[in-house]
Amino acid sequence: EKGGYPHFMLKEIHEEPDAVRRCISPRIRDGKIELNIPGLPNETLAKTERIHIVACGTAMHAGLVGRYAIEALARVPVEVDIASEFRYRNPVLGKNDLVVLISQSGETADTLAALRLAKGRGIRTLAIVNVPGSSIAREADDVLYTWAGPEIAVASTKAYLVQLSVLYLLAVKLGSLHGELSTEKEQQLCSDLLEMPAKIQEAIDGEPDVLACAEELKNAQHVFFIGRGVDYTLCMESSLKLKEVSYIHCEAYAAGELKHGTISLIENGTPVIAVATQPSLYPKTVSNLEEVKARGADVMLVCDKDAKVEPDLTKNLLRVPNVDNILAPMVTIVPLQLLAYHIAVLRGCDVDKPRNLAKSVTVE
Ligand code: M6R
């Protein structure tokens, strides 16, 4: 059942290109996005004033990428909440708002409670769910299924990729309905999205480089991830993935926040992984990387194939395929998922079933 792979986590990472293809291609026709959400016709989407994305764990991290994409492409304000916080903070919800719940399993107790809260207030709800017929899928006003097939490993990998896929489709759709995207730009983004499965495959093919980095990091006690903008959200997801499966203490920081406290933790040999895929922010993140390096950190950089990297800037370098900047998270997360996987294997951890964790968290 693991299809020849030693673990479900690795099998599921390798399934990402197909899962993303299944999720995206039926929803693009003639250079246009077709979401076919019965309760959310174009007129309603065009009037959406604010979006609240609510989820837990990796699904919440997907929501953070969704916020960047929706705000950049559609200029619709987006808030992202952890479901267990949202449900108890008496959130301010407007009548033209949309609450988007993201969940692989569709059974996460806090996300379900957040959905019920929004419905109880009469706010329209849209679920992005993988498991067909699950509670969240049944109770939400509308559902966009991610169609990734079963995800068995406790660590979520392919589900994150398809959640991103749906969020990008929604962002492009909203962008065109809110008059922020020209027909040409929409067409271009659609064709870029259709190319993502091949780009993700290219990222997976870089696995040998990742394995070499895993060897170097396998004995680490702490790992820090730094990035800016959407790369910061990737840092959060990478940090969660690595700590979840390898039991290494990991933290993700907005690179610009280092100076406000965290840099005091850096000493000789502390591993710091910088993610820098956005050209406009690249020099800033590199300068933060130089600062931690000057304090003895062992630095690793994840960036795209075109980024100009000074020869002695980093000890390790992982390059990801070039894609439109806005879509970079879809390829950038791949080596970081593989890194978590390989480090956990090298440390002899129970990769598919990490201690103390359940695949689906049905109690709060
Ligand atoms: O089934 P869900 O997507 O609602 O689950 C949410 C989280 O429990 C889940 O993403 C968790 O954080 C993963 N174990 C992370 O790999």
pLDDT tens by residue, 299-344: 999 999 999 999 889 989 999 999 999 999 999 999 999 999 999 9
Percent of the chain with pLDDT over 90: 96
Among 156, 250, 350, say which to mutate for ligand 1: greatest number of ligand atoms within 8 Å of CB.
Answer: 156
- What six digits make up the tokens of 88? 């108890």
Which residue's CA is the closest to the ligand 1 atom numbered 10? 58
C-alpha Rg value of the chain to the nearest Å = 20
Are residues 229 and 281 in contact, defined by beta-carbon separation less than 8 angstroms? Answer: yes
Per residue in 92-140, pLDDT tens?
Answer: 999 999 999 999 999 999 999 999 999 999 999 999 999 999 999 999 9
CA distance 28 to 36: 11
> Quick one: pLDDT at residue 208?
96
Q: Is the ipTM above a cut-off of 0.90?
A: yes
Measured in angstroms, how far is the CA atom of residue 112 from the centroid of ligand 1?
Answer: 13
> Quick one: pLDDT at residue 311?
86
- 200-223 burial, b if ≥16 CB within 10 A, otherwise e? bbbbbebbebbbebbeebbebeeb
Top-confidence residue, 1 or 243: 243
> Quick one: pLDDT at residue 315?
87
Are residues 276 and 307 in contact, defined by beta-carbon separation less than 8 angstroms? Answer: yes
> Quick one: pLDDT at residue 78?
98
CA distance 305 to 70: 26
> Quick one: pLDDT at residue 209?
96
Q: How confident is the model at residue 153 (pLDDT cuts 50, 70, 90)?
A: very high
> Quick one: pLDDT at residue 278?
96
- What six digits make up the tokens of 10? 């690795």
What is the enclosing helix (H) or strand (E) of 41?
Answer: none
- What six digits make up the tokens of 268? 């000789």
Are residues 176 and 184 in contact, defined by beta-carbon separation less than 8 angstroms? Answer: no
Top-confidence residue, 362 or 104: 104
Helix (H, G, I), strand (E, B) or coil at 183: helix
Q: Residue 222 pLDDT more than 90?
A: yes
Mean pLDDT, rounded, for 151-166: 97
CA distance 352 to 359: 10
What strands, in cross-sheet order, belong to the sheet with 124-129? 78-82, 50-55, 97-103, 124-129, 142-145
Is the CB–ligand 1 distance for residue 244 below 6 Å? Answer: yes
Which residue's CA is the closest to the ligand 1 atom numbered 9? 57
